[in-house]
Amino acid sequence: MSSLTEARVSEVRVFNRFYTKVIGALQAGMLDSPYSLTEVRVLFELARAELMETGDLRGLLDLDAGYLSRILTRLDGDGLIVRERSASDARRQLVRLTPAGSGTFAGLDRRSAEEVERLLSGLAEEDQQRLVASMATIRRLLGSAGSGREPYVIRPPRTGDLGWVAYRHGVLYSEEYGWGTGFEQLVAGIVAGFDFSRDAGWIAEVDGERAGCVFCVRQDDTTAKLRLLLVEPSARGLGLGRRLVEECLRHARAEGYKRITLWTRDCLVSARRIYQAAGFELESEEQGRENGIELIEQVWSRDL
């Protein structure tokens, strides 16, 4: 082991010791309960899935079969779960929470959320963002290593997504650039004008949570317009912005558009790099203002 690798290994081990203490993993019971971290995690997975085969639960948590059996026996004895044989295959055992189990988990889940909230409340807003983004980076790098799969899903908009688009644009651009409610109103107006009989949009999800968006709308018979590209801070670095732009370009070509344009601002450096990499070129620019802040409005375009 090289000295550099040894130092990195040591740093990871130091972090592991620190974080297991922060989350209380070293205590006899998690969240002031009689249950261990692993037992609470089993309750979490059963609460989320409602009904699981023991083999699937074992594979999901990477647990030894004997260890999982002892955990289930304890939870069964406490009246928190019910085990039953599958009607289609007697060799398969199914597990679900009882009403008492659901109530126990709900209490643990609430206390866990409260503890994390207390942890975050001691940090400034900027530090909270850095902490969450760093955690997302750790999860992304270790979770997708060697999987060969993109660590996100891109899907069409569903009910509630358009409201999220306007909300997140308002919040993020206020926090990162100081833009005010006028910009949020601008975005809300764009969203209200979408006609999904001719326009299209995509929502990106990471671990089931919305993490980005983009829309392709009709400008005229031969020209499409890329609108409202956004990537959440916690999902940046995944190549998500590039993939969303590619999806927009693919759709525009399939619809027979000959050209596509977009409107942006010079301070959005990361977005501009994505546009340039996708073949967009600066067409025009002019002085603008947002919430009293001077900026440059730009129009970019490319042929399809």
Enclosing domain of residue 240: 153-303
Q: For 40-57, what is the HEC assignment?
A: HHHHHHHHHHCCEEHHHH
Which H or E element spans position 67?
Answer: helix 65-77
Q: Give a yes or no: residue 50 inside a domain.
A: yes
Q: Give a yes or no: residue 52 inside a domain.
A: yes
Q: Give a yes or no: residue 139 inside a domain.
A: no
Nearest to 264 by CA among 243, 246, 238, 284: 284
d(CA 31, CA 114): 10
Where residue 97 sits, what CATH number does that domain have?
1.10.10.10
User: Are both 176 and 288 inside the same structural domain?
Assistant: yes
Stated length of the chain:
304
User: Are both 227 and 275 inside the same structural domain?
Assistant: yes
Write down which residue in 122, 142, 165 finishes a domain: 122
Write down which residue in 100, 122, 144 finishes a domain: 122
pTM: 0.56
Q: Give a yes or no: residue 61 inside a domain.
A: yes
List pLDDT tens digits, range 202-230.
Answer: 999 987 789 999 999 999 999 999 999 99
- Phi/psi for 254 (5° steps) reads -60, -30
User: Taking a C-beta distance cutoff of 8 angstroms, is the pair 270, 280 a contact?
Assistant: no
Q: Give a yes or no: residue 83 inside a domain.
A: yes
List pLDDT tens digits, range 160-198.
Answer: 999 999 999 999 999 999 999 999 999 999 999 999 899
Those residues of the chain that have pLDDT short of 50 are none
